[in-house]
Chains A and B, each alone.
Chain A
Amino acid sequence: MVMGDLVIEVDVAVVGGGPGGYTAAFRCADLGLETVVVDAGTRLGGACLWEGCIPSKALLHVAAVLGEAERAKEFGVDFGAPRVSLDPLRKWKSERVVGKLARGLASVAKGKGVEVVGGTAVFEDSRSLRVEGDAPQKIRFKHAIVATGSLPAPLPGVSLTSERVMDSTAALELPDVPERLLVIGGGYIGLELGQAYAALGSKVTLVEMLDGLLPGLDHDLVQPLARRCEKLFVKIRLGTKVTSLREEGALIEARFSDGDTVVFERVLVAVGRRPVSAGLGLETTRVRPDARGVIAVDDRCRTADPAIYAVGDVTGEPMLAHRAMRQGVVAAEAIAGRPAAFDNIAVPAVVFTDPEVAWCGLTEPEAARAGRKVKVAKFQWAASGRAATLGRADGLTKLLADPDTGRVLGVGIVGPGAGELIAEGTLAVETAITIEDLAATIHTHPTLSETLMEAAETLLRGT
């Protein structure tokens, strides 16, 4: 291709406009650094805004409304059978939700003087990169921040290209509501999208290779979600692999490791995400991604190349937007010479299903693996007034504390609103407060937040 003559000189070139990239760019601009963002889509927001957190949560809100309407029958309110019109739903999701937030981001960028360049960035050395695309150009930088994020991982051993086999990005487009949907992967993306489609009317089958949903998480936090999924889905196949997918006319035939074959209108592959670091020209720099494509960084988000920083999913697990954003702030401040460090103790995680599952800090399996002694308090929502008024007594709030000092080390919550409630737990873990602090802080009554206080009290009383 022919290179344009245009060369931009900047303090900081950010590659990728996702939450890691735009947060870093905005902070750089605030700190007086001249900053440009290169994004393949010529837009800010990344996977999170366009094909991740935001559209999935929009659909899950719809699912929650449908679920609440169904539950209302318990107390004598019947709205009748819901009718869902996909066109207005898609329009609401993409214009009122995603579009509105995208315009907001664009105007913040403009206000801060951060230029967004469209095209694919390829490093030429540790001081410059070229932008390939409609407007080829060259950017010379003092520092670069790699924030190229991640992409859905393909299903290992199974290759079938069909529009009926979707990844999360395609599924969020909501092409239709398939009669039967196979969700491959019992992680948070499979569970969230599986529940959204189930709420919209699909008969969902979920298959997970390992023998539990949300593998690695505390069993008691997963249990209420698993029970709910058993009701919402027609079948959950645990400890099962998909060995082949075959297109059969308008259907996809899936074969499972136990020998069964079943047909579906659509298949959603949600088996994880892979960092995007190939094709970036990193070989011209000192950055060397590992075999999985992960770029290693230190606590200032510095890579092995002194001029290049990396943030977000491309730096590995946990691949979450809020972690990417915090890293973005750290990278920007480190570049500006501030004493920043990504030394966060708790990176909270939320599964926005019904019920929601949220946790932060130490989990029980982690404590067991590390042989770390912890005191565990569980508060069943059956004893919560607020949970009773919501008709949701199936929740659980759990605290892990240090037996010697009483410090809160981890918090896990399952139940409606867990995603909001976890914020207090995260603050507790991050600021190293004790169960006594939690127990002695007044929590509004009646709310679900009281369950944190109650759990702390059971630990204090030693019961």
Chain B
Amino acid sequence: MPRPFALPDLGEGLTEAEIVKVLVAEGDVIAEDAPLLEVETDKATVEIPSPMAGRVAKIHVQPGQTVKVGAVLVTFDDAPAGARAVPTPAPGPPAPAAPPRAAAAAPLPAAAGEGPVPAAPATRRLARELRVDLRTVRATGPGGRVTDDDVRAAAGAPRPAAPPAPAAGARLVPGRAEPARPAVAKPLAAAGFEPPPLPKFEQWGPVERRPLSHLRRTIAERMTLSATLIPHVTHFDRADITELDAIIRRNVEEAQQRGVTLTLTSFLLKAAALALGEHPQFNASLDPAAGELILKRYYHLGIAVATDRGLIVPVIHDVDKKPLLDLQRELAALAQRVRDGKATLDDLRGGTFTITNIGALGGTGAIPIINYPEVAILGVARAREEPVVREGRIVPRILLPLTLTFDHRVADGADGARFAAAIVRRLERPEQLLLDW
């Protein structure tokens, strides 16, 4: 009995993944839970273990290919070689990527049964336009027919006229340049309007065209979504963290002995989570269709992490409830997993608010783009010792520039100012933070 294994539901708006590596070969006999494939979603690179023991009869995907949830990845087989290997996915309509292959027993040319992929001419044209190989598309039509939507799904583009799918992984700062992994160029999903055609740059000098990676494309699409959908407004503030800095310095050693490297970030997380509790509209999502604001009664905070693949936002759950040292510990482990490409999907979803620290790279401040569908994002620049006038005297103080960017549909400038002030207050009076910890 051929047993197909389809890309499992990845949860939270994640509808597709790019195959990074296939870790088995056709004919391999593997154990349950043995690593099968490595896939990259909008959020992470994850290893998919084998759901069953058996022989790998057919691998339906290849590296570089983008597959939808439900697409058959591998067909397992426990029958002797030569049995039919027709994929018949359990959920949904039968959807072999290519027409079923003829029985191996029949003395046939390879071409037998491998005719053209069933799709209407207009669908085939669309596939050419979006540079999708029809053979790799998961078919949802009757009789294994590939529809326009199937092709668009495979191309990672939204359906025309449908509302944009809620995305869970907007990125805040452009990541670094891509490593050399070959990528297939696919057009970006439309942002509701047609961008005008580009000029022929070749007329001014030589150019090189480079396809975007899956992650880069996702970032670009989510940024476009956020920037076109959300009226952004940004509030600037500065926190005097001289005292906090001193506390951190005084406790670095003590924390180190408990295996934790104390940093400003854990305090930022805590301060933000507590301020969010006072200003719940910033820990929310707008449901424009329902005309409702969805207030979240949990505080899962995302932290932007730059990796060599691009920007990734892991999420720390229940920041409000966790002791500071636990937060700090969790943060370090999480950042490491993300940099190693080992983050799990649970590490990357469920965020309610995002903090992006661009301090390490210098600059005096940046205006981040909101991590759709959240309401606000806190940008943190580098803290510097600066001359501050206090009671007529110039004193050196350590100032931390903050930018709070938020959705003007949800909150007004005064709300933003109050929320930012709530964060600043906690950072400036760390002893008060103690009461909450």
Query: What are the residues of chain A within 8 A of B112 when measuring CB–CB?
Result: 370-372
Across the interface, do A404 and B108 meet the contact criterion of CB distance under 8 Å? Answer: no
Selected from B100, B109, B124, the residue in CB contact (under 8 A) with A343 is B124
Contact of B111 with A by CB under 8 A: yes
Query: What are the residues of chain B within 8 A of A437 when measuring CB–CB?
Result: 142
Contact of B211 with A by CB under 8 A: no
Contact of A344 with B by CB under 8 A: yes
Across the interface, do A371 and B102 meet the contact criterion of CB distance under 8 Å? Answer: yes
Q: How far is the CA of A88 from the CA of B128 in the complex (A)?
A: 52
Query: What are the residues of chain B within 8 A of A372 when measuring CB–CB?
Result: 102, 108, 112-113
CB distance from A143 to the nearest CB of B (A): 19
Across the interface, do A341 and B102 meet the contact criterion of CB distance under 8 Å? Answer: no
Given A339-B125, A372-B112, A373-B102, A407 and B120 touching (CB < 8 A)? no
CB distance from B188 to the nearest CB of A (A): 17
Across the interface, do A339 and B99 meet the contact criterion of CB distance under 8 Å? Answer: no
CB distance from A347 to the nearest CB of B (A): 13
Q: How far is the CA of A343 from the CA of B124 in the complex (A)?
A: 8
Contact of A149 with B by CB under 8 A: no
Q: How far is the CA of A345 from the CA of B121 in the complex (A)?
A: 9
Across the interface, do A407 and B118 meet the contact criterion of CB distance under 8 Å? Answer: yes
Segment at the B interface, from A105-113, A282-290, A349-357, A425-433 = A425-433
Query: What are the residues of chain B within 8 A of A340 when measuring CB–CB?
Result: 125, 128
Given A339-B128, A339-B129, A345-B116, A407 and B144 touching (CB < 8 A)? yes
Q: How far is the CA of A341 from the CA of B109 in the complex (A)?
A: 25
Query: What are the residues of chain A within 8 A of B97 when measuring CB–CB?
Result: none
Query: What are the residues of chain A within 8 A of B111 when measuring CB–CB?
Result: 370
Selected from B99, B108, B125, the residue in CB contact (under 8 A) with A371 is B108
Interface of B is mostly: loop
Contact of A161 with B by CB under 8 A: no
Across the interface, do A407 and B145 meet the contact criterion of CB distance under 8 Å? Answer: yes
Across the interface, do B107 and A430 meet the contact criterion of CB distance under 8 Å? Answer: no
Given A370-B108, A370-B112, A407-B118, A433 and B99 touching (CB < 8 A)? no
Q: How far is the CA of A370 from the CA of B106 in the complex (A)?
A: 10
Q: How far is the CA of A339 from the CA of B127 in the complex (A)?
A: 9
| Chain A, range 84-127, C-beta contacts under 8 Å to B | none
Across the interface, do A432 and B143 meet the contact criterion of CB distance under 8 Å? Answer: yes
Query: What are the residues of chain A within 8 A of B99 when measuring CB–CB?
Result: 402, 405
Query: What are the residues of chain B within 8 A of A404 when measuring CB–CB?
Result: 86, 100
Q: Which residue of B lies closest to A407 (CB)?
A: B143
> Per-residue CB proximity of B257-272 to A under 8 Å, as 1/0?
0000000000000000
Across the interface, do A344 and B102 meet the contact criterion of CB distance under 8 Å? Answer: no
Q: How far is the CA of A40 from the CA of B91 in the complex (A)?
A: 61
CB distance from B427 to the nearest CB of A (A): 55
Q: How far is the CA of A341 from the CA of B128 in the complex (A)?
A: 8
Contact of A406 with B by CB under 8 A: yes
Interface of A is mostly: loop
Selected from A344, A370, A371, A433, the residue in CB contact (under 8 A) with B145 is A433
Selected from A431, A433, A434, the residue in CB contact (under 8 A) with B121 is A431
Across the interface, do B143 and A343 meet the contact criterion of CB distance under 8 Å? Answer: no
Across the interface, do A430 and B143 meet the contact criterion of CB distance under 8 Å? Answer: no
Given A371-B102, A371-B112, A434 and B107 touching (CB < 8 A)? no
Tell me how many residues of B have a C-beta within 8 Å of chain A: 28
Query: What are the residues of chain B within 8 A of A339 when measuring CB–CB?
Result: 125, 128-129
| Chain B, range 88-126, C-beta contacts under 8 Å to A | 94, 99-100, 102, 106-109, 111-113, 115-116, 118-121, 124-125
CB distance from B185 to the nearest CB of A (A): 13
Q: How far is the CA of A141 from the CA of B203 in the complex (A)?
A: 22
| Chain A, range 211-245, C-beta contacts under 8 Å to B | none
CB distance from A132 to the nearest CB of B (A): 38
Q: How far is the CA of A409 from the CA of B100 in the complex (A)?
A: 14
Contact of A436 with B by CB under 8 A: yes
Query: What are the residues of chain A within 8 A of B113 when measuring CB–CB?
Result: 372-373
Q: Which residue of A lies closest to B117 (CB)?
A: A432
| Chain A, range 371-430, C-beta contacts under 8 Å to B | 371-373, 402, 404-407, 409, 430
CB distance from A171 to the nearest CB of B (A): 36
Q: How far is the CA of A339 from the CA of B116 in the complex (A)?
A: 18
Q: How far is the CA of A372 from the CA of B94 in the complex (A)?
A: 20
Q: How far is the CA of A437 from the CA of B119 in the complex (A)?
A: 14
Most central of A373, A407, A432 by chain B CB within 10 Å: A432
Q: Which residue of B lies closest to A430 (CB)?
A: B121
Selected from A344, A370, A371, A402, the residue in CB contact (under 8 A) with B143 is A402
Q: How far is the CA of A431 from the CA of B141 in the complex (A)?
A: 11
Q: How far is the CA of A371 from the CA of B114 in the complex (A)?
A: 12
Given A339-B128, A341-B124, A430-B120, A406 and B109 touching (CB < 8 A)? no
> Per-residue CB proximity of A359-371 to B under 8 Å, as 1/0?
0000000000011
CB distance from A368 to the nearest CB of B (A): 11
Q: Which residue of A lies closest to B84 (CB)?
A: A404
Q: How far is the CA of A434 from the CA of B142 in the complex (A)?
A: 7
Query: What are the residues of chain B within 8 A of A373 when measuring CB–CB?
Result: 102, 113
Q: Which residue of B lies closest to A339 (CB)?
A: B128
Query: Which 10 A-B residue pairs are closest in the complex by CB-CB distance?
Result: A432-B118, A339-B128, A405-B143, A431-B120, A407-B143, A434-B143, A371-B108, A432-B145, A339-B129, A405-B144
If A340-B128, A341-B125, A407-B118 are given as contacts, then 20 extra A-B residue pairs at C-beta distance below 8 Å, sorted by A number, are A339-B125, A339-B129, A341-B128, A343-B116, A370-B111, A371-B102, A371-B106, A372-B102, A372-B113, A402-B143, A405-B94, A405-B143, A406-B142, A407-B143, A430-B120, A431-B120, A431-B121, A432-B143, A433-B145, A434-B145
Can you offer 12 A-B residue contacts whose CB atoms are under 8 A? A370-B108, A370-B111, A405-B100, A405-B118, A405-B144, A409-B115, A430-B120, A432-B120, A432-B143, A432-B146, A433-B143, A434-B142
Q: Taking beta carbons and an 8 Å cutoff, which residues of B are in contact with A?
A: 86, 94, 99-100, 102, 106-109, 111-113, 115-116, 118-121, 124-125, 128-129, 141-146
